Structure 1
Amino acid sequence: MKISRLRLSARVGFTALAAGLALGVCTSAMAQWKWRDTNNRIQYSDLPPPAGVPESSILQRPAGATRRTPPQFVAPAASAASGAEAQASGPAATTDPELEAKRKKGEQDQAAARKAEEAKNAAARADSCNRARAYQKSLDEGQRMARVNAAGEREVYDDKIRAEESKRTREIIAADCK
């Protein structure tokens, strides 16, 4: 009998623990906003009320939600005379040095990336040029050459195929060997 009571209390304890965890997880789902709309009706939502709802009309908010604060507008400290001086000295005087440094660094990074891409393209063109010249030299020397056609058969270059390949190779040389 003692063993069955132990099992029963363990089951009850485990069930209570599982229920407690489930309720703890679900509390975020119960995060509800409650406010009065312009027609004086109470609205409920899991999203905050629209921006036009005054703070006094919000009746309930979720625990983690903060109060909305209106945006703070900073009055310009400079007078019209100092504004004219700032315009006369140029836009560089009014910009933030950190922002300017970040902008310059971004421009330098973009320029470096462009140069790297151009160098990569130039190397690819040079390689293509060298291959095309070597192939053209093989075609001009009259070496016996063959290719595999669409049916998987090997066909030897005749004069017509050799002329077509030579023309195509000259076009590649003209484009890549500048």
Structure 2
Amino acid sequence: MKQVCLAILTALLALTVVSPASAQYIWLDKNNVKVYSDKAPPPDIPNNRVLKGPRGYKAKNIEVKYTDGTEPPAPEAKAASAPGTPKPPMTTAEKNAEFNKRRMEQAEKEKKAAQEEKNRQAKAENCERARAYHRALQTGQRISRTNASGGKDYMGDEERARETSKVEETLRECN
């Protein structure tokens, strides 16, 4: 029993020693990224960007003084004039519109890819048929066709040569 109590007491003591070592400060930097640190944020981070700090913490903002006697620009003008100012958070409607846009683009890509795959398969089938027909023409066996009256007509040498050249042209497109 003493050993169990001693183990629990040791664990509690270890937890109390470790807790101050955790991040005491949390703030948003200029790019709206959360920064966790055990050191105070830089002086150029305003108080409203500090999310967590020790009790009584107040950020010390540096005031810029110009030596030529001019005044620094107002914070609003400075934020509006800076080209790299971060955008304000998007509203739910903007997020939904962007999501729907991405979903439509993805659907179009998938539709286009499916059509290309279908065309590729049809071309592969046609090429295979052309290869089989070319092999049949090359063997020299008699090839018959059905004429308009329903009878059989056999292919002559001239017609076979014309068909062979047509099939070879088709096969060149397959490669």
Bin of the TM-score, shorter chain as denominator length? 0.3 to 0.5
Give the alignment's TM-score, normalised by structure 1.
Answer: 0.47
Structure having the larger proportion of residues in helix? 1
